[in-house]
Structure 1
Amino acid sequence: MSDTGVPGPKSPETKAPDASRRSERSRRAICAAALALVSEHGYARTTVEGIAARAGVGKQTIYRWWPANSKAAVLLEAFLDLAERAADGAAGSEIPDTGDLAADLKPVLRATVDELNDPAFDRPTRALAAEGVVDPDLGAEFTARLLEPQLRLYARRIEAAQAAGQVDPGIDPRIALELLVGPLHHRWLHRTEPLTHAYADTLVDLALRGLLVRK
């Protein structure tokens, strides 16, 4: 109340900090830091201490949120976030079905080439693939949460082509998709030759020679 006896204007209420939002901001900062450091310096030279310093948080925060194999677990979550954002920006989640299997598969395989050639994806993917060999639990999670959903997209498109009478009905779609993605990842992993759109198109053409119903 003012000294005139008339109640004065109320002071604006101070809202309590939103702990959940603050935690989400910190989580995103940690994930971004992990991706940046792995891309800049490689997985071996990236440390929890370095991630915490880049993110502006205490390293105990990381150990508290990712208690098991913290560095790899942070990188996995960060990479899954990155992949999810990339998927959100893509047109649709299913491989289109125009009736032309080759025309539908080639853009998808080309997009995979672009992703594997992107430094933002390349080093984190290599790090997680390597770490998954020595840490079976991490490898299983990486496969289940990232690789398997992508492989199911190929399998469903091949199954649709089987239903349309285009692909041999006796072929296992899971084996068929490996003819497409297997050689691509082999070349990427071992760096035997450059990954190009032309190579992706050739894989589709060669694979379909063995998959399509012969007329």
Structure 2
Amino acid sequence: MSNAQSPAASRRSERSRWAILTATRELVSEVGYGKVSIEAIAARAGVGKQTIYRWWPSKGAVIFDSFLALSEVADGPETALPDTGDLAADLKVVLRATVAEFADPDFERPIRALNTEIINDSELATQYREKLAAPVDEIKKVRLRSAQKAGQLDPDADLDLVLEFLYAPLFQRWLLRSGPLTADYADSLVETTLRAFRP
């Protein structure tokens, strides 16, 4: 007998999966990571605990996947950074979008909860680096390498360092709530970074 699901069963599974991810994000936002339980997620999603455990081995795993779904990180050309030939303009578009995301409460609350947990959970930190941070950084580096070839960026620049210059101040300001995250602030980070790594 075939193990393939019928189309109707596949649709039900996908609905259940999204219900679980949505419920997880909502609960993390409402009560914080520490108070979220598999039981609470199951009750909010309208599924049994075993349905969750069939797809995820732990609370941390389902919370992390709910964040990945929220971030809409997926393979495909839509994830590429813009490449108009103007590096400064392209980076400003990307950094302004990042600022807007961090200012959106629906995005900000779960990502803050996730970062709080990453500090204390080395396994989750490893998952974050491997599944999210590293792939996203590689997408950014593709654009930076294009700029190096075009003579817009120091050809010997350490691209990991370039990304740290660009994003670390923004992340620290957001994490510590030490100042406003605005489009002007994003633009200033781009301009300062490009001055530091100009050819």
Q: With the length of structure 1 as denominator, give the TM-score of the two structures.
A: 0.81
Quick check: 2:33–2:117 contact (8 Å CA) kept in 1? no
Q: Percent identity?
A: 55
Quick check: 2:29–2:113 contact (8 Å CA) kept in 1? no
Deviation at 1:17, TM superposition (A): 8.6
Q: 2:49 aligns with which of 59, 64, 69?
A: 59
The number of equivalent residue pairs is 193
**What corresponds to 2:154 in structure 1?**
168
Matched, 1:181 2:167: yes
Matched, 1:32 2:22: yes
Compare relative contact order (CA 8 Å, sep 6+) and give the higher one, 1 or 2. 2
The CA distance in 1 between the partners of 2:154 and 2:20, in whole Å, is 48
Give the structure with the higher percent helix.
Answer: 2
Q: With the length of structure 2 as denominator, give the TM-score of the two structures.
A: 0.87
Matched, 1:104 2:94: no
Quick check: 1:128–1:142 contact (8 Å CA) kept in 2? no
Q: 1:141 aligns with which of 100, 121, 127?
A: 127
Alignment RMSD: 2.1
Deviation at 1:193, TM superposition (A): 0.8
Amino acid at match of 2:46: G
Q: Secondary structure at the match of 2:79?
A: coil
Structure 2, unpaired ranges of 5+: 1-5
Quick check: 1:168–1:211 contact (8 Å CA) kept in 2? yes
Amino acid at match of 2:113: A
Structure 1, unpaired ranges of 5+: 1-15
1:162-205: CA deviation from partner (whole Å, max 9, x where unpaired): 11112111211111111101111111111111211111000001
**What corresponds to 1:76 in structure 2?**
64
